[in-house]
Amino acid sequence: MSGWLVIAGLGPGDPSLVTPEVSQALAEATDVVGYIPYVKRIQPRHGLTLHATDNRRELNRARHALEMAEGGHRVVVVSSGDPGVFAMASAVFEAVEVGPRHWRNLDIRVLPGITAMLAASARVGAILGHDFCAINLSDNLKPWDLIERRLRLAIEADFAVALYNPRSKARPKGFSQALKLLRQTCEPDRVLVFARSVSTPDEHLRTVLLSNASPNMANMQTVVLIGSSATRILTRDTSPIVYTPRSVGQ
C-alpha cells in the first residue's frame, strides 16, 4: 500500500474547530507525529501509533514522518492552529528540500486549520478586518534585530499586527522590548488584545490601550493583536467589540 503524509492543523483547541478534512485524515492514519501537547489531543485507537516529541525537534520530527510515509505508512503531522503559520508545514518542506530526491515525489498534503490570530480576532470582533500581518517574536530562528525591524515597519505602514510567541521563560525580555518600540512609534490609545488559549477552558481575553499594557499580560499561550490607528472599540453591556473598519481615511 502506498504511504502518504498529511500536515494538518488542529485549530486553536476546541475539537469542534477541527475541520472535517483533518478529522478524516486522522481517521485513516496509521501514525500521528507532533509536539507532545498536540499529540495529546489525538484520541488513541487500535491501529494508530502516536509519536510525540519535545519542542525544537521539528526537523527530526519531519524526517521521521517522511521516512514512515516512504515506508508505506499513512502519516499525519499535527500542529496547533494552521500548519502553515509558524508551524510544521515549513519544517517538513525544509526536510524534503535537503533529503533524498525521491521524497519530493511522495504524496504530501497540507490541510489548513484555524490559526490563533483568526480565532482571537473572531472572539473580540474583527480587529484584523483590514490589512494586517503576523510576526513571530521568537528569536530562536532569526535575530532580534530583524524582528524589531519588521515590527517597526509594520507599525509604520499602519498594519494591524498579530504577535505570536510573545513571551516565554527562556525569552522573558522580547515582548518588553516590543512594547517599548510600540510606545515609541504609536499613540498611547492604540488598541491591544491579549488572547490566551482561545477556545479552550483556559481562554482569557483582555482588551487594553497601549498605555495600560504590560509584559506579564502575555505568555506562550497568548497571541497579541495590535490594532491599526483606525481600530475601534465599541462598548456594550457585555465584553466590548473590537474591529478595524474596511475603509481607510473615511
The CATH code of the domain that includes 107 is 3.40.1010.10
| Residue range(s) defining the domain that contains residue 211 | 117-243
What's the rounded Cα separation, in Å, for the pair 166 and 194? 10
Statement to judge: residues 155 and 66 lie in one domain: no
Final residue in a domain of this structure, among 80, 114, 148: 114
Within the chain, which residues score under 50 in pLDDT?
none
Q: Are residues 125 and 237 in the same domain?
A: yes
Residues 62, 172, single domain; the answer is no
User: 249 in a domain, yes or no?
Assistant: no
Domain count, the chain: 2
Query: In the beta sheet, which residues pair with residue 5?
Result: 75, 108
Same domain, 106 and 122: no
Alpha helices of the chain — where are they, by DSSP H? Answer: 20-28, 36-39, 58-70, 88-98, 116-124, 144-156, 174-185
> What is the CATH classification number for the domain harbouring 163?
3.30.950.10
Q: Among residues 114, 139, 157, which one ends one of the domains?
A: 114
CB-based burial, 199-208: b 16+ in 10 Å, e otherwise: beeebebbbe
Whether 82 maps to a domain, the answer reads: yes
Residue-averaged pLDDT of the chain: 94
Structure confidence at residue 44 (pLDDT)? 95
In sequence order, the β-bridge partners of residue 78 are: 8, 34
Measured distance CA(168)–CA(146) in Å, rounded: 19
Domain-embedded: residue 250: no
138 and 86 housed in the same domain: no
The model carries a pTM of: 0.92
Let me know if residue 166 belongs to a domain: yes
Q: Are residues 124 and 221 in the same domain?
A: yes
- Does residue 102 share a domain with residue 140? no
Q: Domain boundary residue among 83, 98, 114?
A: 114
Amino acid 58: pLDDT: 92
Asked if 167 and 134 sit in the same domain, the reply is yes
What's the CA gap between 147 and 177, in Å, rounded?
11
Residues 6+ away with beta carbon under 8 Å from 134: 85, 86, 117, 161, 162, 163, 164
User: Are residues 128 and 229 part of one domain?
Assistant: yes
What pLDDT, on the 0 to 100 scale, is given for residue 250? 56
> Which of 231, 250, 248 lies closest to 240 in space, CA to CA?
231
